[in-house]
């Protein structure tokens, strides 16, 4: 059974579509990353799964139950993006407070507090006021709060945002530890490198739509793409290479050739040599998650523009007919 299953999910706020037909599945024991720009709809989807926001249409299931049911909420941990713990609390007193909300008795809370603070690296600062904590320490305490009641699924909204590189590394290691304990972790982030480093599977979201899903390895797999540079001042014969059936893109320094199935870069090199061009370099390039993300966003933007033009034309035609 999937831990999370979302089918054709829509959410509209007034005249704004925050989610537009989202569908995805998250399997047990994964660190699943939802990657997208601010405003893409990531937090809205998590709030729907937690029952904080109502669905406009579609279905969302968490641990086999409709999202937001009381039974499911007890089995889920959550760290929102803009959390703010009272500075007068200590790490220990804050977890005592949350433990009481979860219905834990004092003996269980005391035992669990020691374990949780040790896991997140705050054992020596548990009795310090939260107002003395760094951003990274507050994030680690927030993560401790999210798994304090031993949930099966943990939702983390931008868990490393604003944290220094050392803190981000520590949080990634912490999430790996929680995963090894058998938990499923759902991470929202706009930080591409963090998603690439910590997640097993990724969904890329743009303006309320899922535009690509896959493992990090699948999304960043090497494509047949080469970068070619010629002698200084020599223009690349793009039209000739395109006439051979190749996809060609150029920037100020290099020309990029992406091969279709059955094509070989040797054909391009042989053509350039035959025409007397002097090659400075040929290198195969691998796409990073950032490359994939930007490419998908650009394609989605072009598609949105085309849809907008079609809608505008349709509206204009309707008005003329009226």
Average pLDDT over residues 25-52: 91
Assigned fold of 225-284? Alpha-Beta Plaits (3.30.70)
DSSP codes, 240-265: HHHHTT-EEEE-SS-EEEEPPTT--H
Distance (Å, rounded) from C-alpha 51 to C-alpha 106?
29
Average pLDDT over residues 258-263: 85
Of the spans 96-110, 157-171, 203-217, 283-297, which averages the highest pLDDT? 96-110
pLDDT at res. 74: 85
Torsion angle, alpha carbons of 168, 172, 174, 178, to 10? 150
Q: Between β-strands 31-36 and 201-206, what pairing exists: parallel, antiparallel or unpaired?
A: parallel
Task: Check whether 222 has a pLDDT greater than 80.
Answer: no
Q: How many CB atoms are closer than 10 A to CB 15?
A: 5
Distance (Å, rounded) from C-alpha 23 to C-alpha 25?
7
Residue-range domain boundaries for the chain: 4-216, 225-284
With bands split at pLDDT 50, 70 and 90, how would you rate the model's confidence at 232? confident
Task: Check whether 66 has a pLDDT greater than 80.
Answer: yes
Distance (Å, rounded) from C-alpha 79 to C-alpha 234?
55
Of the spans 159-163, 165-169, 180-184, 231-235, which averages the highest pLDDT? 180-184
Distance (Å, rounded) from C-alpha 28 to C-alpha 171?
20
Residues of the chain above pLDDT 70, percent? 91
- Among 42-46, 49-53, 148-152, 315-319, the minimum mean pLDDT is found in 315-319
Q: Which helix (H) or strand (E) holds 318?
A: helix 289-321
Torsion angle, alpha carbons of 140, 217, 293, 156, to 10? -20
Length of the chain: 322
> Which homologous superfamily is 4-216 in?
P-loop containing nucleotide triphosphate hydrolases (3.40.50.300)
pLDDT at res. 137: 92
Q: Which helix (H) or strand (E) holds 17?
A: strand 16-26
Task: Check whether 317 has a pLDDT greater than 70.
Answer: no
* Residue that has been written with the tokens 């050739």 in this structure: 257
> For 96-224, where are the E strands, in sequence order?
153-157, 184-189, 201-206, 209-215
With bands split at pLDDT 50, 70 and 90, how would you rate the model's confidence at 108? very high
Q: DSSP label at 207?
A: T
Q: Which two tokens stand for residue 306?
A: 């085309």
pTM reported for the whole predicted model: 0.74
Task: Check whether 304 has a pLDDT greater than 60.
Answer: no
With bands split at pLDDT 50, 70 and 90, how would you rate the model's confidence at 287? low
Q: Which two tokens stand for residue 217?
A: 């390895």
């Amino acid at each position: 059974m999937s831990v999370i299953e979302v089918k054709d999910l829509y959410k509209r706020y007034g005249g704004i579509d925050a989610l537009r037909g989202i569908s995805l599945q998250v399997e047990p024991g994964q660190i699943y990353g939802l990657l997208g720009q601010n405003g893409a709809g990531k937090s809205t989807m998590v709030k729907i799964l937690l029952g904080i926001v109502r669905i406009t249409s579609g279905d969302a299931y968490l641990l086999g139950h409709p999202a937001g049911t009381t039974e499911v909420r007890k089995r889920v941990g959550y760290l929102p993006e803009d959390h703010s713990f009272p500075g007068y609390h200590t790490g220990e007193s804050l977890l005592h407070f949350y433990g009481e909300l979860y219905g834990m008795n004092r003996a269980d809370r005391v035992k669990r507090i020691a374990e949780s603070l040790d896991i997140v690296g705050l054992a020596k600062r548990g009795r310090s006021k939260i107002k003395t904590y760094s951003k990274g320490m507050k994030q680690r305490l927030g993560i401790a709060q999210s798994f304090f009641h031993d949930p099966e699924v943990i939702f983390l909204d931008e868990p490393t945002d604003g944290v220094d590189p050392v803190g981000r590394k520590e949080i990634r290691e912490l999430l790996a530890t929680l995963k090894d304990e058998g938990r499923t972790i759902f991470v929202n982030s706009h930080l591409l490198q963090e998603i690439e480093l910590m997640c097993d599977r990724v969904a890329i979201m743009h303006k309320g739509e899922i535009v690509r899903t896959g493992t990090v390895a699948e999304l960043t797999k090497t494509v047949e793409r080469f970068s070619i540079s010629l002698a200084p001042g020599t223009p690349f014969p793009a039209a000739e290479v395109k006439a051979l059936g190749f996809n060609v893109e150029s920037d100020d320094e290099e020309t990029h050739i992406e091969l279709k199935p059955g094509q070989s870069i040797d054909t391009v090199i042989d053509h350039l040599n035959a025409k007397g061009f002097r090659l400075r370099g040929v290198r195969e390039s691998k796409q990073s998650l950032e490359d994939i993300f930007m490419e998908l966003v650009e394609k989605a933007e072009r598609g949105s523009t085309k849809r907008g033009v079609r809608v505008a034309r349709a509206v204009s035609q309707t008005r003329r007919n009226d």
